[in-house]
Amino acid sequence: MFLQIISIFLTYFINILYNIISVKHYMKGECMLIPEDIKNVQRPAKTDVRFFNSNYYVYPYVSVWSKEKKKAIKKNLPYVGKIIFDDNLNKYVYQERQTPLLNNQLEIKGYGDFMFVDSLNKDLYKELTNKYGDIDGTKIYVYSLLRLLNNDVSNKLDFFYENSYISEVYKDVSISKNTVFDFIQKLGKHDNTNKEFLASRKKEYQVLIFDGTQITNQSLSNIAEFGRSVRKTNKTQVCEIRVFDTISKEPLYYEVLPGNVIDKTAFIQVLDRFDTKSSIIIVDKGFNTTQNIEYLKASNINYIVPYNDNSTKITKILEDNKYQKAFTYNGKNVMGIKVTKDDNIYYIFQDPFIEANQKSNYINKVASSKEGYDLKKMEKKEPKFGVIAFSSNLDYSIDELNIIFEHYKERWEIETMFKLEKSLLGNEVIRVHSTSSLLGIRFISQIEMIMYSRIYYKLKSLDLLKTFSTIDCLERLSKIYVLYKKGKWIPSITTKKNIEFMNKLGIL
């Protein structure tokens, strides 16, 4: 009997002591007894479960050495999740802790370069959405803008999109690699629609510049053919004719041709796309054929066609005639002559600046003993140094030579555009392997070049090109970003010079 009483007392005392310890741990946020079904819930490795405020929290732990206890002990880190009861699954599950760092919302995005280009092309965006609809028109605009800003060929546009403020202005654009590729193919299958869009953008033309080029393209496309350079490269190519409007200062049109089609023979077909009754057509030397000139004359189209400086016609005119007029163009003195011969009007100019450069380059080659160059040959070539010659059906007087010279010089003003477009085109066309992809890329590139020309002439109008190039400008703007704070985007802290620069460009 006595032993039974002692046993009951000890059991009662132990239960009281256990409850005291449990409450102590509970107050610390711990629980001595975690139910087995909670412990068995799948969760990250090396974690403990603790009960606190009616929730089961999951804490990761690490082993650290205790100098006092002289052994490794567990140290808990901040909790990473909870174990909750899922009503839909009717069981306990692990729920990861959501922190600001784990949200999908990026907190910093590029701003300056996008805002500048977008501010110049709002009307282009409207034209595209009016023609192609809001979804496809926005894709064309966003793809083109991203490619221009990042010099990218569609492989990482999704990354650039998410990290640019463009994703806040033009939201929810499908832009994965496969989506972009499929869309470009789709565009190429509607090449006539794309050409109609380009040709319809401008109704009146004053001066149109035509240029031709060839680009290597090794593919199964029916446009890629062996052309004139086959002996040098042994590779197939495509040809392209491009048209530039000097009034709007923008690329206007392009036509992709099979590599075995000589662009001079396709010139008339492209020309017929435009109403040229009141226009002046300035063409590349490659279009100077008897057939093309006769067509221009018969159609009463005003034209300016350049000649090579080694042309026998030009040599004969210079031998028989003297320069008749001197004038100033862009701060440089120029001499000019007008001669009517064989039912053609020839205008020949000599630029002393170009003359001096060509003469200096020739002398350097003579001095370095380069094969084919000597002083006797230079005497024959010297009269042609600095010579710019072309024929035209525009009948200007001697006193108006500066007018036709200015018309021709408009071609050289946009030569930078042609070179840039060719470099962009050349690198990419080499890689495409279908006609639809090629035509789709060319249309996107045309939209890019319209954007680029607006950047160029905006900077030129502000006299900023005297300080740095268009690429320098975009790189500087790309370093200006926005931060996401308290539910809104605010400009990052930047220098006073950058603020003044952005104000000048009209984007702050």
The pLDDT value recorded for residue 379 is: 86
The pLDDT value recorded for residue 117 is: 95
Average of per-residue pLDDT across 247-275: 75
Residue closest to 210 by CA, chosen among 261, 278, 276, 281: 281
Q: Is the dihedral of CA 262, 268, 273, 274 positive or negative?
A: positive
From CA 54, how far away is CA 233, in angstroms rounded?
Answer: 77
pLDDT at 355 over 60: yes
Average of per-residue pLDDT across 18-31: 44
The pLDDT value recorded for residue 65 is: 73
The pLDDT value recorded for residue 21 is: 45
If you write DSSP's letter for every residue of 260-319 in order, what string do you get? TS-HHHHHHHHHTTS--TT-EEEE-GGG--HHHHHHHHHTT-EEEEEE-TT-HHHHHHHH
The pLDDT value recorded for residue 425 is: 47
Q: How confident is the model at residue 153 (pLDDT cuts 50, 70, 90)?
A: low
Average of per-residue pLDDT across 153-166: 82
pLDDT at 256 over 60: yes
Q: Is 91 helix (H, G, I), strand (E, B) or coil?
A: strand
Could you give the strand order of the β-sheet that contains 488-491, starting from the edge strand earlier in sequence? 108-110, 481-485, 488-491
Lowest mean pLDDT across 10-19, 187-196, 289-298, 396-405: 10-19
Q: Average per-residue pLDDT in the chain?
A: 81
Q: How confident is the model at residue 114 (pLDDT cuts 50, 70, 90)?
A: very high
446 exposure class (CB count in 10 Å sphere: 0-12, 13-18, 19+): buried
Q: What does residue 481 show for φ and ψ, rounded to 5 degrees?
A: -130, 175
Do residues 109 and 413 touch, judged by C-beta distance below 8 A? Answer: no
pLDDT at 131 over 90: yes
Average of per-residue pLDDT across 65-75: 78
Lowest mean pLDDT across 30-39, 399-408, 476-485: 30-39
Q: Is the dihedral of CA 330, 206, 471, 167 positive or negative?
A: positive
| 287-305 pLDDT per residue, tens | 888 888 888 888 888 999 8
> Which listed CATH number (3.90.350.10, 3.30.750.80, 3.10.129.10, 3.30.70.1150) goes with 189-351+386-454?
3.90.350.10
From CA 306, how far away is CA 390, in angstroms rounded?
Answer: 4
From CA 267, how far away is CA 286, in angstroms rounded?
Answer: 10
Q: Which residues contact 102 (CB under 8 A, 6 or more apart)?
A: 96
From CA 303, how far away is CA 207, in angstroms rounded?
Answer: 9
pLDDT at 496 over 60: yes
pLDDT at 225 over 70: no
Q: How confident is the model at residue 345 (pLDDT cuts 50, 70, 90)?
A: very high
Tokens for 312, please give them: 């026998």
The pLDDT value recorded for residue 347 is: 94
CA-atom Rg of the chain in angstroms: 37
Q: Name the residue ranges covered by the structural domains of the chain.
A: 1-31, 34-103, 108-184+462-498, 189-351+386-454
The pLDDT value recorded for residue 27 is: 41
The pLDDT value recorded for residue 216 is: 57
Lowest mean pLDDT across 122-131, 287-296, 316-325: 287-296
Q: Is 341 helix (H, G, I), strand (E, B) or coil?
A: strand
| 161-181 pLDDT per residue, tens | 988 999 999 998 988 888 888
Q: How many CB atoms lie within 10 A of CB 144?
A: 24
Give the helix, strand, coil percentages of the chain, each rounded to 5.
Answer: 45, 25, 30
The pLDDT value recorded for residue 152 is: 59
The pLDDT value recorded for residue 324 is: 93
Lowest mean pLDDT across 9-18, 209-218, 259-268, 324-333: 9-18
| 372-396 pLDDT per residue, tens | 888 888 888 888 898 989 889 899 9
Lowest mean pLDDT across 62-71, 303-312, 468-477: 62-71
| 47-58 pLDDT per residue, tens | 889 888 788 999
Do residues 392 and 347 touch, judged by C-beta distance below 8 A? Answer: yes
Tokens for 15, please give them: 């239960």
Tokens for 353, please give them: 């600046």
Q: How many CB atoms lie within 10 A of CB 376?
A: 7
Residue closest to 31 by CA, chosen among 18, 22, 39: 22
From CA 6, how far away is CA 12, in angstroms rounded?
Answer: 10
From CA 199, how far away is CA 247, in angstroms rounded?
Answer: 15
Q: Give the amino acid at 294.
A: E
pTM for the full predicted model: 0.70
Tokens for 66, please give them: 């205790």
Tokens for 94, please give them: 């692990």
pLDDT at 426 over 50: no
Average of per-residue pLDDT across 207-217: 73
